[in-house]
Structure 1
Amino acid sequence: MTTTTSSPSIILIAGHWLGAWAWDEVLDHLNTDNPRAIAMTLPGLDGDDPERAAKTLDDQAAAILDVVARLGEDQPVTIVAHSGANYPVSLVLDRHPERVHRVVWVDSGPVAAGSVFAPDLPAGVEELRLPSLDVLAQQASLEGLDAEVLERFRSRAVPEPGPVLRQPVELTNDARRKVRTTLVCCSIPGAQVLELARSGHAMFAEVANIQHLDVVDLPTGHWPMWSRPRDLAEAIQSAASRTS
């Protein structure tokens, strides 16, 4: 039987180019029942930080753990990681799995040891800007996003720091695979994700090693916080409230 707990602490972390603002609509729904849900901007994605382009995955993981420490005094927290936030969050799970009640991957998933997001990015490239929407649409589904949302995305996006994209992920603690996990599958159906994981596909192989896994299908594009914010909030709240 699945049991639940009320008002679990939730940390929302968006993917590349995005800050805490990306979760505004989800928070509107989450905070109705859960005032302990917050969104964070990772180091390197604060447009007002003059040193942001030098930030690393280690900086991002440390910042997440700082928030966990503040929110998780009485119980471990649920971390929600969208898209490219899977790199620093995988580090967090490796370093302190005992502090995480559950991880919710939103159109994302854990990375394998040694993974590098952009191994071919030249050392001289300090940052990676959001590509044109035409190019972006070839990389990820924009389903459900209207012109107003896409313009907001383009205007508020912050270039991704080069060191974050080039740093290999060092993972040594198998206990990270014991953390309760929910996959919220949007642009790729859950059944297909699991099949890719079983087949050893490099992007999904680590999913096959998760010991406690739930899969939720939320059909839409790669940015469900904008295309289906209420439904995403409900999926997150349901996952975070589970104790088994």
Structure 2
Amino acid sequence: MANFVLVAGAWLGAWAWDEVVPELRAAGHGTHPLTLSGLAEKRGVPAGQQTHVGDIVDEVERLDLRQVVLVGHSYSGIPVGQAAARIGDRLARVVFVDSDVPVAGESFASGWWEGRERFEAGLAENGGCWPPLTARDCAGQGLGAEQTARLVGGATPHPGPALTEPAVLTRPLDELPATYVKCLLDGEKPPGEAARLLTGERWRLVRMDTGHWPMFSRPRELARVLLAAAAE
């Protein structure tokens, strides 16, 4: 039996996995969707990137989980990748779902397509937070009207320090058993560091013909991908 620790990306909480969890449980696995500090029902709790790494490690240790499959979506690949390197032999596999991966000394903002300064200026203009996504952000991502409304309606502002603090790696990521899930409607190729890591022996690429939020657009298919990753 695997224990899935599921961490959604920016603006989202544990609720984002509601349609994935039943499929994993039906297959006999433990499921632990996690809300990071400062988001969803934890909105208002001060949080930086290392707070989020701690949230994940603490959940694994508090529940004394073994055979852990850590799943990080989008932004959360950054803290999940760091946490995976810290939980030792509790880790069975890490799965990055259309996500960033941590790079030592760099942050989410470091790789922002408009540049770090532009991104940080936007945070400052919005009280130090990244404003929640809108329906326009969801266009072209394989989401129906109901799915878009649920995604946008549940999103909360994302704490800025989590996006600007640098990653701290205690173990090279290429040493970890990993699966990278690329959602093709959000671009055909994994981002630079993930692409490099996928050339290694311990990383595997899986493609999904859907958009950036597969837990909403293709939850059953995503669950099958996660189950296959756990079985490796």
Tell me whether the two structures share a fold, i.e. TM-score over 0.5: yes
Residue 237 of structure 1 deviates from its aligned partner by 0.9
CA contact (8 A) 2:52 2:79 kept: yes
Tell me which residue corresponds to 1:3: none
Q: Which amino acid aligns with 1:227?
A: S
Residue 30 of structure 1 deviates from its aligned partner by 1.1
Instruction: Give the superposed CA RMSD.
Output: 2.4
Aligned pairs, number: 221
Q: Which moved more, 1:96-105 or 1:55-64?
A: 96-105
Tell me which residue corresponds to 2:217: 227
Structure-to-structure mapping, 1:180-191, within 5 angstroms: 180-187=177-184
Tell me which residue corresponds to 1:177: 174
Q: Deviations over 1:72-107 (max 9, x none)?
A: 55x331101111101111221333343321001111
CA contact (8 A) 1:101 1:179 kept: no
Q: Which amino acid aligns with 1:235?
A: V
Tell me which residue corresponds to 1:154: 152
Gapped runs of 5+ residues in structure 2?
110-115
Task: Name the CA distance, whole Å, in 1 between partners of 2:194 and 2:32.
Answer: 28
Q: Which amino acid aligns with 2:48?
A: T
Q: Deviations over 1:42-94 (max 9, x none)?
A: 111134543x2x20111111110112124455x33110111110111122133
TM-score, with length taken from structure 2? 0.84
Q: Deviations over 1:146-187 (max 9, x none)?
A: 11111111111011001111111122422x321111112212
Task: Name the CA distance, whole Å, in 2 between partners of 1:183 and 1:29.
Answer: 20
Tell me which residue corresponds to 1:99: 90
Runs of 4+ in structure 1 off by over 6 angstroms are: 188-191
Which of 208, 227, 232 is 1:237 aligned to?
227
Task: Name the CA distance, whole Å, in 2 between partners of 1:48 and 1:96.
Answer: 24
CA contact (8 A) 2:198 2:205 kept: no
RCO comparison, higher one (Cα < 8 Å, 6+): 1
Q: Percent identity?
A: 34
TM-score, with length taken from structure 1? 0.81
Q: Which amino acid aligns with 1:132?
A: T
Give the SS at the match of 2:18: helix
Tell me which residue corresponds to 1:65: 57
Task: Work out whether 1:127 is the aligned partner of 2:129.
Answer: yes
Gapped runs of 5+ residues in structure 1?
1-6
Task: Name the CA distance, whole Å, in 1 between partners of 2:216 and 2:188.
Answer: 24
CA contact (8 A) 2:35 2:42 kept: no
